[in-house]
Structure 1
Amino acid sequence: MCLMDESLEALEAPSSPKTLNNIRLQVDNGIARIALDRPEAANALNLAALEEIHQTLGELDLNESLKVVVFTGSDQAFSSGLDIAEHTDESVYQLIETFHEVIRRVTKLELVSISVVKGMALGAGCELAAVCDFCFAAEGAKLGQPELKAGLFPTAAPMIYPRLIGLRRTYEMILTGRTYDAKEAEGIGLITRVMAPAQLDAEVEKWTQFLKSFSTPVLRLARRATSDAVNLPFEEGLRHLESVYLNQLMSIEDAKEGVLALRERRQPVWKHK
């Protein structure tokens, strides 16, 4: 892992100087963009790609000026899932463990996460897209968990999907292995929005710019507080949110500015601190 100052210096440029062979990274004005880049394998997630994603997310989260991270693939595939070529007795343990580290890291980010699905998002690709805070998909995109058809089962979906689509739909997705088109995936709550392919990128850009309009520390704290609370029992979650609100949020200058702006009926002027 790079030292903190080296990591932040690397993130100032559109692409990091460290070698990234399986993803592309761009960082610009508060927004980080991670593009899965294995077109020859329909963006299948091999161990190297997962390690690059995991390390990159860790470095991005240290940059307190960032607000949003956007995951994309290609027009043909967001990701076809874990790379079956590396699903061997010798490497499957590390493959699954590293995939789970990526999922954990996405859920624990202070950054707001967005996935953009064009083409297919299957298996681990579907799980990665769905675990993001917002998931946008193009009409015609295909999402699903087909692992059972190969004598396997998904290892993150049982933990992610019940909160998104309910237990019955989770069983349906996992135990039938069927593929959903984007419109149906939107209908069951698996994704946030579906739209025409020609409009998708512009709509995602609108959302990122909207999120950028908020105070950086407040947005990041709200994201972290929410993700922490949903994993707690109700009473414990309420106490946690109360503590974060009173002891952390109220010490942020922008929180005081927001309240003052409301009282004075004007737009707030964020200092991002």
Structure 2
Amino acid sequence: MPEPLVLRRTDGAVATLTLNRPKAYNALSIALMEAILDELADLDRDRSVAVVVLEGSGRGFSGGHDLKELQANPDVAFRQRTFDTCTKMMLAVTRLRQPVIAKVHGIATAAGCQLVATCDLAIAADTAKFGTPGVNIGLFCSTPMVALSRAVHRKQAMEMLLTGDVVSAQHAAEIGLINRCVAEDQLDAETNALAAVIASKSRKVLKTGKEAFHRQIDMTLEDAYAYAGSVMVENMGYADTDEGIDAFIGKRPPLWSHE
């Protein structure tokens, strides 16, 4: 039996999904993207999981779309299905109730870079490389552009898109594509530590905050404040909010019910 395209393990309240096409640099075939979608749908229903970590097996995070698959299927319907499935996957990451941390080693290029930009947080080894090199092969990274242009300054995004150059993890951290660049031998520990901090919070509050962040980001300033204010009013009615405020006043750790 072939190995699953996505491996899943859980450690306490942290679930890790591993893209498992190591011989193909975890190229995002339709089958792999559909497997990721299935895992995300299952995690979205799992109230015991607070944080999701996304990583790649083998030598890198992901080299992007499976170009061999796309070349072998020249009909428009198949290619449209590929990019539609990719869009569904990226939106599923954004809409997932749990925050998602990209844990990056090796390369994250094209749609792989898009996936990193889509995740809520990202930590990379100092040896990792990022890029949107589609222009080099005559296929502009138009869908990766959507996530990249929302994660970094537009001029930085345009430079990556127009040149196709691969950038270092250090540069990716400087432009805001990732949160931090760490020594390769510290990647596991740093990712685990960040996930543990987030997992210690109320899961209901994390869900509320992630959803509100992504909804307000494209609103006008006035609309964003009005929306965020209504979210805070609703948030004040949570049982965990009462507990958190009482714990703060009483100078004790909160005991979350996740309600």
Q: Amino acid of the residue matched to residue 45 of structure 1?
A: L
Match of 2:74 in 1: 89
**1:96 deviation in Å?**
0.7
Cα RMSD for the two superposed structures? 1.5
CA distance in 2, matches of 1:269, 1:103: 33
Q: Amino acid of the residue matched to residue 41 of structure 1?
A: A
Picking from 100, 109, 133, the partner of 2:120 is 133
**1:44 deviation in Å?**
0.5
Match of 1:10 in 2: none
Match of 2:257 in 1: 271
SS of residue in 1 equivalent to 2:142: coil
Query: Is residue 86–residue 95 contact of structure 1 (8 Å, CA) maintained in 2?
Result: no
Match of 2:25 in 1: 42
Picking from 172, 178, 198, the partner of 2:165 is 178
SS of residue in 2 equivalent to 1:34: strand
* Per-residue CA distance 1:6-51 (angstroms, 9 max, x = gap): xxxxxxxxxxxxx973111123322111100001111111000001
* Per-residue CA distance 1:229-271 (angstroms, 9 max, x = gap): 1132222222221122212x12211101111222223322222
Number of residue equivalences: 254
1:206 maps onto 2:193 in alignment:
yes
Query: Is residue 144–residue 178 contact of structure 1 (8 Å, CA) maintained in 2?
Result: yes
Q: Amino acid of the residue matched to residue 62 of structure 2?
A: S
- Give me the TM-score of the superposition, normalised by structure 2: 0.93
CA distance in 1, matches of 2:95, 2:217: 12
1:68 maps onto 2:55 in alignment:
no
* Per-residue CA distance 1:55-111 (angstroms, 9 max, x = gap): 211121121222111101135110011000121322211111101111111111221
CA distance in 2, matches of 1:230, 1:260: 31
Picking from 184, 187, 204, the partner of 1:197 is 184
CA distance in 1, matches of 2:114, 2:239: 37
Query: Is residue 70–residue 115 contact of structure 1 (8 Å, CA) maintained in 2?
Result: yes
Q: Amino acid of the residue matched to residue 110 of structure 1?
A: R
Q: Amino acid of the residue matched to residue 177 of structure 1?
A: G
Q: Amino acid of the residue matched to residue 47 of structure 2?
A: E
CA distance in 2, matches of 1:58, 1:238: 30
SS of residue in 1 equivalent to 2:244: helix
CA distance in 2, matches of 1:231, 1:62: 27
CA distance in 2, matches of 1:41, 1:112: 27
Picking from 85, 89, 103, the partner of 1:102 is 89
SS of residue in 1 equivalent to 2:74: coil
Q: Amino acid of the residue matched to residue 66 of structure 2?
A: D
Match of 2:236 in 1: 250
CA distance in 2, matches of 1:75, 1:42: 7
Picking from 63, 75, 84, the partner of 1:80 is 63
SS of residue in 1 equivalent to 2:192: helix
Query: Is residue 74–residue 118 contact of structure 1 (8 Å, CA) maintained in 2?
Result: no
SS of residue in 2 equivalent to 1:55: helix
1:24 maps onto 2:10 in alignment:
no
After superposition, residues 158-173 of structure 1 pair within 5 angstroms as 158-173=145-160
Q: Amino acid of the residue matched to residue 42 of structure 1?
A: Y
- Give me the TM-score of the superposition, normalised by structure 1: 0.88
Structure 2 regions of 5+ residues with no counterpart?
Answer: none
SS of residue in 2 equivalent to 1:214: coil
* Per-residue CA distance 1:174-230 (angstroms, 9 max, x = gap): 011000011111111111111111111011111111111111111221111111111
CA distance in 1, matches of 2:35, 2:130: 24
1:115 maps onto 2:102 in alignment:
yes
Q: Identical aligned pairs, as a percentage?
A: 34
**1:141 deviation in Å?**
0.9
Match of 2:140 in 1: 153
